[in-house]
Structure 1
Amino acid sequence: MPIAPIPHNVPPPRPGPRRPRVLLGLALCGLAAILPRAEAQPSSSLQVHHWWTSASERRAANVLALRLGEEGVEWKDGAIPGGAGLGAGKVLKSRVLAGDAPDATQIIGASIGEWAELGLLLEFDGVAVAGGWNNALFPTVLALVQHRKHVVAAPLGIHRINTLLYNRKLFARAKLAPPSTWHELALAAAALRAVGVAPLLQSSEPWQVATLFENLVLAEGGPDYYRELFVRQTPQAAADARLAVALERLRLMKGWMASPLDEQPWTGVVRRFARREAAMLVTGDWAKAELKELGVPLDDEFSCAPMPGTGKLHLYSVDTLSMFTQDYAHVAAQEKLARLAVTPAVQQQYNLAKGSVPVRRDADPAQMDSCARASWTAFAKGAQSQVPSLVHRMAADEESRDAIIAEVHRFFVNDAVTPGEVQRRLAAVLRSLKLQHRK
């Protein structure tokens, strides 16, 4: 059944031993005890919790809903508005605490392991074996959806976060080619200003600022340093000169931006980009799909390229769906959704609508647009080219992510804060996080 428009406003799982540190916070320690255990009843519907609320995201979710409907299962939509899933995450925790967990939910990255560690996610190893996931999926994706060697999530698509969207016509006015280095990017900004064009669009919303910043860290420091800072979270990495350079460049780019302190949802930024209010936008490739919904054609009005300095790298985020165990009344329907998500046909249709690329190694690049083809090819090169996004929960847990984003955002909005101060504060944050992780 198609998704309704959003108003504006099986054996039980085998959880492993609990770690001393409960990743989702003390309030969730007793979740397994409070979830309802009603007697199983046949079900022909699934309530799905997610944050796909833009026009392109709705189209992608509708692909899943329609295919699930063809299998005799109704998709009951539970979309929660809010960029980067911040609102949806809070609502999900509240619902689980209240004993009202959804049947299926969008959970991504490190959050998958946090929920699985509590013993709340359905394992569907049989679906994965029957679908040949071991051979079909990229190894990085397969590892992401597993916890303690059990499959606890269904992968949907891979987004490239290091995407530079640029307006081809505005670039032609300034006689520019897409930049591939920081030096070329700075020259392009100057040339665009000289012809009366704002070089860059950006919202001051914290996660959007941090998305630009993690691109700058990757471009300046490379994948090894990026992982040292954001994945291993070594306090000494915060003192590195490369971090200071990334911070200085973030502040320089703030001066290129049209209305840099306007806090807008990403969809609003994309609409402004479609109206030619600036020539460039650094974000995930979901923006490409939203431009398509606005009637702005790829490779005519705009194109995309890797963020300068990251041409051979893929800063990734992977969309995934997990299923809550609850009373096991919905297992058959939940397994249908997990199976469908990875089938070649759904992969092609979903990712075409979403702007992402398939999680399957056997996908056909010839069926992709130019941006998607470049993204899928870069990811397919293997682990050496793949870098997990901090902002989009691939590199670290929620607590670490939020603490780092807060420091970056503080620097962005307050010009009195120096790069050195940010480095000292980040080092302290990382030391504190390491201490907490050891408890």
Structure 2
Amino acid sequence: MRLALSVIAVCAGIATPVLAQENAEVIHWWTSEGESKAARTLAQSFGAAGGNWVDNAIAGASAARQAAVTRIIAGDPPAASQFNTGKEYLDLVTQGLLVDIGDVAAGWEKTMPAALLAASQYEGGVYAMPMNIHGRNWIWYNTALLEEIGATPPTGWGDDMFAALDKLQAAGKVPLALSGTPSYTLSLFESILLDFGGPDLWYALYRDKSDAAFEDPDLRKALETFARLRDYVDEGSSGRAWNATIAMIINGKAGISSQGDWAKAEFTAAGMTAGVDYGCVLANGVVNIGGDVFVFPAQNDEARTKAQNLLIRTLADPATLRDFNAAKGSIPPRSDVDMTGTDACAETGSAALRSQDTAVPRLSMLVDGTVKGSLTDLIVEFWSDPSMQIDDVVARYKEIVQNG
């Protein structure tokens, strides 16, 4: 197993030095240009504290998570591993394989959104450190391109969106740049659903699982709008990576896209300024929050444990979180991090986070992986098959959620 992992590391261009006292290996999937710059801020902070960040960047979230789990179970764990906010690492917690970081988490209940903190806890312990809050439902657009064709920037998924998309199509541009992978196809639908139904419908569907929610006309409207967008996406969207999709907005090939605020790091890396060169919109003023966390596998060596403890303290420091989130394009998970002077998009996102009425947890924080997977399959099938009827989609939607 270790030989296989060594081969993987070499193929990824990763040097794996012999661990010394100050070395802490970190597995993550921040591999795009903007993401790599953000990860380097963490390495620099750890270095300034006296540690040595051993970078193990593995392309793709699923591949990185699987590599980490394999290493942990095999008894050769990294000092830290990236996961998404949610229930992805719960099995590791229940098997006693992760460190409880409750000592550094003291006071987080006063500075962190309740849903985010709850997702990091299990039976009184804290087993994950939220590093950021990503809004998953942003709309992005190229300001200069919309001005050039005389299109008004959209404020959501209503009539003004389709007016802009029509003008982009008439100008020979790709109206809607989509990363046509299953997760991003689902995210597009979620953005539309939150625009029309807001937090009330979101919670009614996924937390309360109420019969009335599936009869709500806003759910049908969201599905109809989602289906209508098929006509505005280019043929190359299927399987396209998220950063390649944002590159289409940056270079003016496409006008509008929808995805999380990790996209902002790519705009920044391209030298573009929020509110000037590109625009950002939270439809209905609602932010669908998720993000990244680090978990810290239990170590079997004193030197590794010492380095891990230093890493934990460094990552929890507000200055570290500020530098990282400024580079990542995300919002700090704690209100005690001073982000004065950040860009217009960050200010919009921060304002939405201040209220439970406008900040809603991502799907995987409300349902388990099986339900999310089945919903993803349904939405992707609906996107790919225009012959599917809305009534049939709603019926299957209800069955998946209520029986999950």
Q: TM-score range by the shorter chain?
A: 0.7 to 0.9
The 1:242/1:118 distance shift into structure 2, 3 A limit, reads: farther
Deviation per CA, 1:137-182, whole angstroms, max 9, x where unpaired? 3444333322222221112111111211111112212333322241
Aligned residues: 389
Deviation per CA, 1:334-378, whole angstroms, max 9, x where unpaired? 232222223221111101111101122133343211111111121
Match of 2:342 in 1: 368
What CA distance in whole angstroms lies between the structure 1 residues aligned with 2:242 and 2:177? 10
The 1:179/1:410 distance shift into structure 2, 3 A limit, reads: same
The aligned runs of 1:149-188 (5 Å cut-off) are 149-181=124-156, 182-188=158-164
Q: 1:117 aligns with which of 62, 77, 94?
A: 94
% identical aligned pairs: 29
Superposition misfits of 4+ residues, deviation over 6 angstroms: none
Deviation per CA, 1:300-339, whole angstroms, max 9, x where unpaired? 32121213xx22x211112211101142633332232222
The 1:134/1:227 distance shift into structure 2, 3 A limit, reads: closer
The aligned runs of 1:360-399 (5 Å cut-off) are 360-379=334-353, 381-390=354-363, 393-399=364-370
The 10-residue stretch of structure 1 (170-179 or 200-209) with the greater mean CA deviation from structure 2 = 170-179
What letter corresponds to residue 429 of structure 1 in structure 2? I
Please list every run of 5 or more consecutive structure 1 residues that lacks an aligned counterpart in the other structure: 10-40, 434-439
Match of 2:385 in 1: 414
What letter corresponds to residue 308 of structure 2 in structure 1? Q
The answer as to whether partners of 2:104 and 2:316 remain within 8 angstroms in 1 is: no
TM-score, length of structure 2 as denominator length: 0.88
The answer as to whether partners of 2:72 and 2:297 remain within 8 angstroms in 1 is: no
The 1:327/1:281 distance shift into structure 2, 3 A limit, reads: same
Does 2:186 match 1:210? yes
Match of 1:222 in 2: 198
Secondary structure, aligned partner of 1:303 = strand
Deviation per CA, 1:384-430, whole angstroms, max 9, x where unpaired? 2211122xx33333222212111111111222222222222223323
What CA distance in whole angstroms lies between the structure 1 residues aligned with 2:77 and 2:66? 12
The 1:8/1:246 distance shift into structure 2, 3 A limit, reads: farther
Match of 1:72 in 2: 50
The answer as to whether partners of 1:207 and 1:405 remain within 8 angstroms in 2 is: yes
- Cα RMSD over matched residues? 2.6
The 1:180/1:71 distance shift into structure 2, 3 A limit, reads: same
The 1:412/1:171 distance shift into structure 2, 3 A limit, reads: same
The answer as to whether partners of 1:136 and 1:362 remain within 8 angstroms in 2 is: yes
Please list every run of 5 or more consecutive structure 2 residues that lacks an aligned counterpart in the other structure: 1-8
What CA distance in whole angstroms lies between the structure 2 residues aligned with 1:229 and 1:201? 28
Secondary structure, aligned partner of 1:115 = helix
Q: 1:332 aligns with which of 291, 300, 306?
A: 306
The Cα of 1:265 is off from its aligned counterpart by: 0.8
The 10-residue stretch of structure 1 (351-360 or 99-108) with the greater mean CA deviation from structure 2 = 99-108
The 1:137/1:424 distance shift into structure 2, 3 A limit, reads: closer
Q: 1:423 aligns with which of 385, 394, 404?
A: 394
Match of 2:291 in 1: 318
TM-score, length of structure 1 as denominator length: 0.81
